[in-house]
């Protein structure tokens, strides 16, 4: 009788079943040591702390279900057995989390519990049942694409999403989410929430060696973060997408060690014939063991929008979705450029010429990357308003990037993968307007922070249209607080311009501006604002701050009756001071110019 061959992982046969050599094993050991030096692993005590927090959330979930069930008049036996369960997804569930990582968490409840119940009762129960003072920064966001409650529990950041199971009256502790039929009857947000865990579990089940996969993924995630190409919301792969790429390489080299997987990752993905999709298993168009569901499955043969995806990386769990639908032409070029660079460095590492730390060298986006930059600033006078407004703007910056890509004089528009949050204190309305458009009146004691969008299962932003609360006045001095978030886009111009002279960006800025302010999220009552700036290359000083060698400001500001002042201009000129006069003449009727800007604290590189 013929014996069965080894299990095949993935949609094709392996490229190699070779066992690792001594040299490759040593390179893997060196990689792990470097990851430890880079503080990529969490201590056992901190991991145990996470376990305690998750156990507490499980108890709170069960009590939440009981409370709502009793309020609905269910008999005590049904109340007792209704259950409820906490699941994790993302980096924590994959086993690649590090110090300071958040925990992406899902609350699963029976069919009679609603999302309204969740937001009405769960936040109060968190505060009541957790140790005193353990819950901080509690922020429910009800109207986002995937509703979420964000908070910190004993210093651990938690992103908590919700899903009910439409056909189950009980959620036992032993429940898994592997059955496709659990998706029946769910709303789209509930389905996406549930699929976060299902996708994570499928990825782990589709790799031949989990320990090898995890080490290689830690390396690739660290590399992508250091090179600033890690953020779904800004047009780069997010954590799930990078995990699927590494998993695919593990399938192609099922017996390889982690160092070899990292090397092959760069070489294979650099040469991948996009838009051929990356799949971990054959596409599943229908649910297992059941009738067709009314859900959309990624299928470029059916959906025109799916054919437009530039670098499709497809989630393995039903219904399959593209995890990289936000990638633009520019971000694709940047990703491929970084893959090539990473491969060249890893080649040298594997031959003993370079150490692993060279792979994790930080990006040079602000110091050597570009001659010209475009910045977008979202500003508000309350923290709640800014959370809503900045989240909305951040989710749409890639639309501005896509518009800039279509400009005949722009070769590439490179969005930095994080925004920069600053706090300003102003004493007059004039000061407020100045703070909204630059760094004046910034509170130096409050450091500039980078944004960290919630890692929702589909990578989309948290955006809602709730009326913002919060006091815009400082209780200490009566001054007004202004909260700003700034995003930067590096611009690479065409070597030969079709139209010599200035490069006008007015149309791109206007389109983006209108797309922002005509949404419900924009609120005059919340005193939100959107501004755009254009500047030259940034250079680093010894003190660690960044200063522009040349800077020309333009902005767009809402006026009464929707009238505004948009403008934009770039020159193919050198960095001589005289060029500022030409720019001023070109746009003096369209925007406001700052002749001698002082921007000594434009960015703090330690926060990048």
Would you say residue 239 lies in a domain? Answer: yes
Q: How far is CA 35 from CA 72, 360, 569, in A?
A: 52, 10, 44
**Residue 146: band (very low, low, confident or very high) from pLDDT cuts 50, 70, 90:** confident
Quick one: pLDDT at residue 384? 74
d(CA 55, CA 88): 12
Ligand-binding site membership of 104 (annotated) = yes
- Position 358 scores a pLDDT of 98
Q: Is 103 annotated as a binding residue?
A: yes
Overall domain count for the chain:
3
Looking at the structure, tell me whether residues 413 and 349 fall in a common domain.
no
pLDDT at 567: 38
Lowest mean pLDDT among 94-108, 380-394, 421-435, 558-572: 558-572
User: Which token pair is 134?
Assistant: 């353990």
Mean pLDDT on 397-411 = 89
Confidence of residue 91 (pLDDT cuts 50, 70, 90): very high
297 a known binding residue?
no
- The verdict on residue 500 lying in a domain is yes
pLDDT classification of 84: cutoffs 50, 70, 90: very high
- Report CA 605 to chain centroid distance, whole Å: 20
pLDDT class for 208, splitting at 50, 70, 90?
very high
Active-site positions read: 91, 102, 104, 159, 221, 230
Q: What is the pLDDT of residue 324?
A: 96
On whether residue 412 sits in a domain, the answer given is: yes
The burial of 569, by beta-carbon neighbours within 10 Å (0-12 exposed, 13-18 middle, 19 or more buried), is given as buried
Per-residue pLDDT at 193: 92
Strands (E), 458-602: 480-493, 503-504, 529-536, 538-540, 546-548, 551-552, 569-570
Q: Which residues of 317-348 are buried (b: 16+ CB within 10 A; e: fewer)?
A: bbbbbbbbbbbbebbbbbbbebbebbbebbee
Cα 125 from chain centroid (whole Å): 29
Q: What is the pLDDT of residue 458?
A: 43
DSSP state of 2: P
Confidence of residue 570 (pLDDT cuts 50, 70, 90): very low
Q: Are 85 and 139 in contact (CB under 8 A)?
A: no
CB of 70 closer than 8 Å to CB of 79: yes
Instruction: For residue 402, give the CATH number of its domain.
Output: 3.30.70.590
Mean pLDDT of 522-543: 42
- Structural domain includes residue 199: no
Looking at residue 392, what is its pLDDT? Answer: 81
Least confident of 81-90, 152-161, 298-307, 473-482: 473-482
| Inside any domain, residue 3 | no
Q: What is the CATH number of the domain that holds 142?
A: 3.30.460.10
Range of lowest pLDDT (4-13, 234-243, 476-485): 476-485
Residue 189, Cβ neighbours under 10 Å: how many?
20
Number of Cβ within 10 Å of residue 560's Cβ equals 6
Do 351 and 376 belong to one domain?
no
Report the distance separating Cα 309 and Cα 324, nearest Å. 8
Give the domain extent around 589.
365-607
Of 44-48, 287-291, 399-403, the range with the lowest mean pLDDT is 287-291
pLDDT attached to residue 517: 66
Nearest to 322 by CA among 240, 395, 203: 240
454 versus 205: the higher-pLDDT residue is: 205
Same domain as 577, residue 447:
yes
User: In the chain, pLDDT over 90 holds for what percent of residues?
Assistant: 55
Q: In what order do the strands lie in the sheet with 156-164?
A: 85-89, 103-109, 156-164, 148-153, 135-141
pLDDT value at 439 more than 60 = no
**Could you tell me where the DSSP H helices lie in 11-147?**
22-37, 44-71, 76-81, 90-94, 115-129
CA–CA–CA angle 557, 563, 568 (5° rounding): 50
Final residue in a domain of this structure, among 143, 164, 179: 179
The 10 Å CB-count burial string (b at 16+, else e) for 357-386 is eebbeebebbeebbbbbbbbbbbbbbbbbb
Which among 492, 486, 489 has a CA at the least distance from the CA of 601?
486
Q: What is the pLDDT of residues 457-497, one digit of tens each?
A: 444 433 333 333 334 444 445 677 888 888 888 888 887 65
Domain limit, last residue, from 328, 360, 392: 360
Indicate the Cα dihedral angle 139, 141, 146, 151, nearest 10°: 0
- CA 439/CA 420 separation, integer angstroms: 12
465 is in an annotated binding site: no
Distance from C-alpha of 3 to C-alpha of 108, rounded to nearest angstrom: 43
- Quickly state the pLDDT bin for 432 (edges 50, 70, 90): low
Q: 385 and 255, same structural domain? A: no
Q: Provide the CATH number for the domain around residue 304.
A: 1.10.1410.10
Is 239 labelled a binding residue?
A: yes
**Residue 539 pLDDT more than 60?**
no
Q: Would strands 156-164 and 372-380 be described as parallel, antiparallel, or unpaired?
A: unpaired
Question: Binding site annotation covers 233?
Answer: no
Give the CA distances from residue 390 to residues 328, 380, 529, 591, 603, in Å, rounded to whole numbers and listed in that order: 21, 9, 10, 23, 18
Q: Looking at mean pLDDT, say which of 233-237, 482-486, 533-537 comes out highest.
A: 233-237
Same structural domain, 287 and 423? no
Q: How far apart are the first and last CA of the chain?
A: 62
Residue 71 CB neighbours (<10 A):
12
What single-letter DSSP state applies at residue 19?
P
Say if residue 492 is in the same domain as residue 603: yes
Q: What is the mean pLDDT of residues 524-552?
A: 38
Q: What is the predicted pLDDT for the residue at 602?
A: 25
CA angle, 326 then 157 then 248, to 5°: 45
Does 546 count as an annotated binding residue? no
Look at residue 459 in the predicted model and tell me its pLDDT: 40
165 and 299 co-located in one domain: no
519 and 552 part of one domain: yes
- Write down which residue in 340, 360, 380 finishes a domain: 360
Q: What pLDDT is attached to residue 369?
A: 81
pLDDT band, very low/low/confident/very high, at 62 (cuts 50, 70, 90):
very high
Mean pLDDT on 448-461: 50
Would you state the structure tokens that stand for residue 430, as one six-digit string? 């004039």
| Residue 10 within any structural domain of the chain | no
In residues, how long is the chain? 608
> Is it the case that residue 587 has pLDDT exceeding 50?
no
Strand partners, 366: none
Residue 290 has pLDDT above 90, yes or no: no
Quick one: pLDDT at residue 444? 53
Report the alpha-carbon distance of residue 288 to residue 281 in Å, rounded.
14
Whether the CB-CB separation of 396 and 512 falls below 8 Å is answered with yes
Say if residue 170 is in the same domain as residue 135.
Answer: yes
- Classify 206 in phi/psi space as left (phi over 0), alpha (psi -120 to 50) or beta: alpha
User: Quick check: is 196 in a domain?
Assistant: no
> Residues 427, 288: one domain?
no
Which residues, in sequence order, are bridge partners of residue 604?
545
Q: Read off φ and ψ for residue 218, nearest 5 degrees.
A: -55, -45
Average pLDDT of the chain is 79
179 appears as a binding residue in the annotation:
no
Task: Give the lowest-confidence range in 159-168, 178-187, 277-286, 575-584.
Answer: 575-584
184 within domain boundaries: no
Angstrom distance (rounded) from CA 387 to CA 148? 13
373 lies in the same domain as 340: no
Assess contact for 50 and 156: CB atoms under 8 A.
yes
> How, if at all, do strands 103-109 and 156-164 pair?
parallel
Could you tell me which residue, 315 or 141, shows the higher pLDDT? Answer: 315
In Å, what is the CA distance from 331 to each residue of 131, 217, 325, 398, 405? 44, 21, 12, 10, 10
**Neighbouring C-beta atoms of residue 485, cutoff 10 Å:** 24
Could you tell me the pLDDT band of residue 504, with boundaries at 50, 70 and 90? confident
Q: To which residue do tokens 């960095």 refer?
A: 575
> Do both 459 and 600 map to the same domain?
yes
The pLDDT tens digits for 342-357 are 999 999 999 999 999 9
């Amino acid at each position: 009788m013929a014996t069965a061959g080894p299990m095949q992982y993935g949609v094709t046969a392996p490229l190699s079943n070779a066992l690792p050599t001594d040299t490759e094993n040593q390179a893997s050991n060196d990689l792990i040591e470097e990851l430890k030096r880079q503080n990529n692993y969490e201590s056992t005590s901190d991991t145990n702390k996470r376990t305690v927090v998750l156990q507490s959330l499980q108890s709170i979930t069960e009590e939440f279900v009981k409370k709502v069930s009793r309020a609905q008049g269910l008999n005590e036996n049904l109340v007792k057995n209704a259950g409820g369960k906490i699941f994790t997804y993302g980096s924590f569930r994959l086993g690649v989390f590090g110090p300071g990582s958040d925990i992406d968490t899902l609350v699963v409840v029976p069919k009679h519990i609603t999302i309204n119940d969740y937001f009405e009762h769960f936040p109060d129960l968190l505060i009541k049942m957790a140790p005193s003072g353990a819950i901080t920064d509690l922020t429910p966001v009800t109207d986002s694409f995937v509703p979420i409650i964000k908070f910190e529990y004993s210093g651990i950041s938690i992103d908590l999403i919700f899903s009910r199971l439409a056909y189950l009256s009980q959620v036992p502790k032993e429940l898994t989410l592997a059955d496709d039929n659990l998706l029946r009857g769910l709303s789209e947000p509930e389905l996406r929430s549930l699929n976060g865990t299902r996708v994570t579990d499928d990825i782990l089940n589709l790799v031949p060696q989990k320990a090898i996969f995890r080490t290689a993924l830690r390396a690739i995630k660290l590399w992508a973060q250091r090179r600033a190409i890690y953020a779904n919301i800004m047009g780069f792969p997010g954590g799930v997408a990078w995990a699927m790429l590494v998993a695919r390489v593990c399938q192609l080299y099922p017996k390889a060690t982690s160092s070899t997987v990292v090397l092959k990752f760069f070489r294979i993905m650099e040469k991948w014939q996009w838009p051929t999709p990356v799949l971990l298993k054959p596409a599943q168009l229908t649910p297992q063991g059941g009738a067709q569901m009314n859900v959309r499955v990624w299928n470029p043969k059916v959906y025109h929008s799916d054919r437009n995806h530039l670098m499709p990386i497809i989630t393995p769990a039903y219904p399959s979705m593209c995890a990289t639908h936000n990638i633009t032409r520019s971000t694709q070029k940047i990703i491929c450029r970084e893959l090539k660079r990473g491969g060249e460095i890893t080649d040298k590492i594997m031959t003993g010429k370079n150490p692993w730390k060279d792979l994790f060298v930080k990006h040079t986006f602000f110091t050597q990357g570009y001659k010209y930059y475009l910045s977008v600033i979202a500003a508000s006078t309350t923290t709640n308003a800014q959370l809503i407004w900045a989240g909305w703007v951040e989710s749409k910056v890639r639309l501005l990037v896509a518009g800039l890509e279509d400009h005949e004089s722009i070769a590439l528009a490179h969005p930095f993968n994080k925004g920069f949050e600053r706090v300003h204190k102003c004493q007059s309305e004039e000061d407020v307007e100045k703070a909204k458009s630059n760094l004046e009146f910034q509170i130096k004691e409050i450091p500039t922070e980078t944004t960290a969008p919630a890692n929702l299962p589909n990578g989309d932003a948290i955006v809602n249209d709730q009326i913002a609360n919060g006091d815009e006045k400082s209780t200490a001095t009566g001054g007004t607080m202004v909260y700003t978030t700034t995003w930067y886009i590096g611009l690479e111009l065409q070597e030969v311009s079709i139209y010599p002279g200035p490069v006008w960006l007015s149309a791109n800025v206007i389109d983006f501006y209108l797309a922002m302010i005509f949404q419900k999220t924009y609120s005059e009552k919340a005193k939100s604002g959107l501004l755009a700036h254009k500047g030259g290359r940034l250079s680093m000083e010894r003190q660690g701050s960044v200063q522009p060698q040349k800077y020309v400001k333009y902005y767009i500001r809402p006026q009464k009756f929707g009238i505004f002042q948009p403008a934009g201009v770039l020159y193919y000129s050198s960095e001589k001071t005289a060029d500022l006069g030409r720019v001023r003449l070109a746009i003096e009727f369209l925007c406001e110019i700052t002749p001698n800007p002082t921007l000594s604290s434009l960015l703090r590189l330690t926060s990048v």
